[in-house]
Structure 1
Amino acid sequence: MEDLLSQLAHLTESQQGLLRDPPWELRARCLEALRAALHSGTNKLVTLAIQGLQKMLRDDRFASPFESDDESLWLTTQLLDVLPPMTSLTEEAQVEIMRVLLNATCQSSWVANNALVVRIVTLCHQLCTLTPAGGPDMVATAAQATACQAVRGFAAMLDEDYESALSEQQDSASRAEEAPPVQVYEDVLPTYRHLCQQIDQHAGKRPASPSGHPASLQFHLSTLLALLSALPVRVQRCAGVLEQTWRQLTPALVRLLGSPTSERVGAVPARRDPPPCVLLILALI
């Protein structure tokens, strides 16, 4: 560990001008040491490693407006690859890891695809279900916030792709009369389908439920609501999104609304806010 830290100190000091390594290479070398600390099982080393991850996100030397073509070298992929099993960490460490991922997805240079977003959502869901029913929801709250930000950030990326494609279309005289390029929003389908399938399983269409934890359904409903709220109205013109909505999501929501709350989301205190199912239906209108 000491040798790694010494090498990293020399490496970061040498990053000057044209001699700078690509950000993903610099991240990979630094994350080697941080990975060893995260997997050490020592609380002090884990805390220091998480602080290192947080500082990495604030250092411009580790960021780039253009990521490598290799998805395994993207910032968030590299972060996820060094994480230890969440069950090996304290609740405080779990919350801080979620904060690191949340900060990564908030960066203007964040790059992601469906596989990466689903991977983040799955990790956050696992953390939510680790919290005992009725226990402190500190970890679950952090995980929910991270998952929602991940899908919102992905929707924002698609908005940028749409605006770029629309600008190119308007600049071309031969394409000026074409329909707006709403097909770019079809890229959200794998993430959308994943969330719909999880909700559909909770609704009882399939015999196996992804989790019996009371927070599981709430997590997926809230994450899908965040995604739908972030997508513009023009996404309604995407055939794939519409088909997924009417063939799977809408019937699942109807079944959930027709079932006793205690059977689906566990016994919860009375609340004045509309349940997520209702909010999702309103988002679809």
Structure 2
Amino acid sequence: MEELLQDIFKEATGPKLATLRKSCQDALEILCMQESSHKRPSCEVRKACLLPLQIALESKRPKLVSFALSGFHKILRDDRFHRGIEPEDDSLWLPSQLLCSTASVMYHTPDTQVQIFRMYLSLALSPRRTLNGRLAVWACGRCAEAAAAPAPVAAAARAAAAQTLRAYTAQLDEECQELLSEGATLDRNHIVAVGCYSEVIPVIQYLCGRLSETQLEHEGHLVDDSGRGSGALVCAPSFNSKQAKAVYSIANQLVRLVGSTSNLRPVLEALYHRMLLYPPISHRTEPLRSVRELLQNPKRLCQLILLKKCEQGYEKHSDDMAIIRL
């Protein structure tokens, strides 16, 4: 990384790139300190090194852009940027810092865009990254910006988004398996289930929203949303039945996992409200089929009707039968 920063410093000629030269010097000083006893947290070291890479990328000078892309991959591989545990603030996590540093992705040439989305793919494949629901949605949203880009860019973006979702769900599964192997108590299991549910639902709602959005500009846009799951499309959704089945089956699995937990009902109700009432009436076949499968399964029906007793300290947030009436 030191050699790369020195190369960027030499290439950053002219008064307009004085900030880039200064940021390179600061990053080199911090990297030098990492060899002494005065080590800084990894998130601070990443921040210092990502700043010159971001400026180099946004300069759009071919050589500087090439250096920046190489630097992003070095940060993924270099152990100095991954020491210790990530802080509580997810804005200091590696995925968040990389997403901020590459916010200009859609303003570059297609070749550069492909390289950046490939870097996102490498990030998702890296065992050193830590994700949560917000970062997964952010990464997928960034990839979705390339939906109308040239074919190579769109393909790279789709691969990065798909791997991000795989990595996130695998991380959740690994955490759940660890807790199960520890023999956690019932109360702790409930707390973990609530936390997992809170992480997953925003991602599912984001995916439903993306699938529901029309891509036909001449047909208009979504009407105003006044709450979770509210609103409706003014024209037919743009996704196909295979994509719809994948998302709706995930919703049915959420019923299996937490359908009988009373205090999680409001969010589950909002999700099904969005599935069933968001599309136009003539395009509700797939969500209705999904619900039919749910109601035809006695176990799933019981999980919707037979509720666990609320633990002390939890308020009853809404009518437990609202989702059945929906």
The TM-score with structure 1 as length reference comes to 0.70
Q: Which residue of the partner structure matches residue 76 of structure 2?
A: 57
1:75–1:227: structure 2 CA closer, same or farther, 3 Å change rule? Answer: farther
8 Å CA contact 2:105–2:116 kept in 1: the answer is: no
Name the larger-Rg structure: 2
8 Å CA contact 1:151–1:226 kept in 2: the answer is: no
Does 1:98 find its partner at 2:117?
yes
Q: CA deviation at 1:35?
A: 1.4
For residues 35 and 245 of structure 2, the distance between their equivalents in structure 1, rounded to whole angstroms, comes to: 44
For residues 62 and 142 of structure 1, the distance between their equivalents in structure 2, rounded to whole angstroms, comes to: 25
For residues 280 and 156 of structure 2, the distance between their equivalents in structure 1, rounded to whole angstroms, comes to: 25
Q: Which moved more, 1:23-32 or 1:245-254?
A: 245-254
Q: CA deviation at 1:95?
A: 0.9
1:222–1:18: structure 2 CA closer, same or farther, 3 Å change rule? Answer: farther
Does 1:110 find its partner at 2:129?
yes
The amino acid that maps onto 1:208 is H
Does 1:238 find its partner at 2:258?
yes
Q: Which moved more, 1:140-149 or 1:101-110?
A: 101-110
Does 1:186 find its partner at 2:197?
yes
For residues 227 and 39 of structure 1, the distance between their equivalents in structure 2, rounded to whole angstroms, comes to: 40
SS of the residue corresponding to residue 147 of structure 2 reads helix
Flag structure 2 segments of 5+ consecutive residues without an equivalent.
1-19, 224-236, 260-264, 295-326
For residues 188 and 135 of structure 2, the distance between their equivalents in structure 1, rounded to whole angstroms, comes to: 35
1:250–1:33: structure 2 CA closer, same or farther, 3 Å change rule? Answer: same
For residues 28 and 14 of structure 1, the distance between their equivalents in structure 2, rounded to whole angstroms, comes to: 15
Does 1:85 find its partner at 2:117?
no
Q: CA deviation at 1:226?
A: 8.5
The amino acid that maps onto 1:185 is C
Aligned length, in residue pairs? 249
Paired residue for 1:120, among 132, 139, 148?
139
Q: Which residue of the partner structure matches residue 272 of structure 1?
A: none
Q: What are the within-5 Å matches in structure 2 for residues 246-265 of structure 1?
A: 246-249=272-275, 252=279
For residues 235 and 64 of structure 1, the distance between their equivalents in structure 2, rounded to whole angstroms, comes to: 39
CA RMSD of aligned residues (A): 4.0
Per-residue CA deviations over 1:163-189 (Å, capped at 9, x if unaligned) read: 233344x255xx499779544431300
8 Å CA contact 2:96–2:135 kept in 1: the answer is: yes
For residues 188 and 40 of structure 2, the distance between their equivalents in structure 1, rounded to whole angstroms, comes to: 45
Q: CA deviation at 1:162?
A: 1.7
Does 1:208 find its partner at 2:221?
yes
SS of the residue corresponding to residue 127 of structure 1 reads coil
For residues 244 and 115 of structure 2, the distance between their equivalents in structure 1, rounded to whole angstroms, comes to: 20
1:156–1:178: structure 2 CA closer, same or farther, 3 Å change rule? Answer: closer
Structure number with greater CO (CA < 8 Å, separation at least 6) is 1
Per-residue CA deviations over 1:180-228 (Å, capped at 9, x if unaligned) read: 9544431300110111122233399x96259xxxxx9459x86994897
Q: Which moved more, 1:112-121 or 1:19-28?
A: 112-121
Q: What are the within-5 Å matches in structure 2 for residues 120-199 of structure 1?
A: 120-129=139-148, 131=149, 136-168=150-182, 170=183, 172=185, 175=186, 182-187=193-198, 188-199=200-211
8 Å CA contact 1:27–1:62 kept in 2: the answer is: yes
Q: Which residue of the partner structure matches residue 263 of structure 1?
A: none
Q: Which moved more, 1:102-111 or 1:136-145?
A: 102-111
1:29–1:195: structure 2 CA closer, same or farther, 3 Å change rule? Answer: same
The amino acid that maps onto 1:56 is I
The TM-score with structure 2 as length reference comes to 0.63
For residues 90 and 223 of structure 1, the distance between their equivalents in structure 2, rounded to whole angstroms, comes to: 33
1:140–1:53: structure 2 CA closer, same or farther, 3 Å change rule? Answer: same
8 Å CA contact 1:117–1:151 kept in 2: the answer is: yes
Q: CA deviation at 1:90?
A: 0.7
Q: CA deviation at 1:47?
A: 1.7
Q: Which moved more, 1:147-156 or 1:238-247?
A: 238-247
Per-residue CA deviations over 1:115-137 (Å, capped at 9, x if unaligned) read: 221111111111122x2xxxx41
The amino acid that maps onto 2:54 is R
For residues 96 and 268 of structure 2, the distance between their equivalents in structure 1, rounded to whole angstroms, comes to: 30
Q: Which residue of the partner structure matches residue 213 of structure 1?
A: none
Flag structure 1 segments of 5+ consecutive residues without an equivalent.
211-215, 259-276
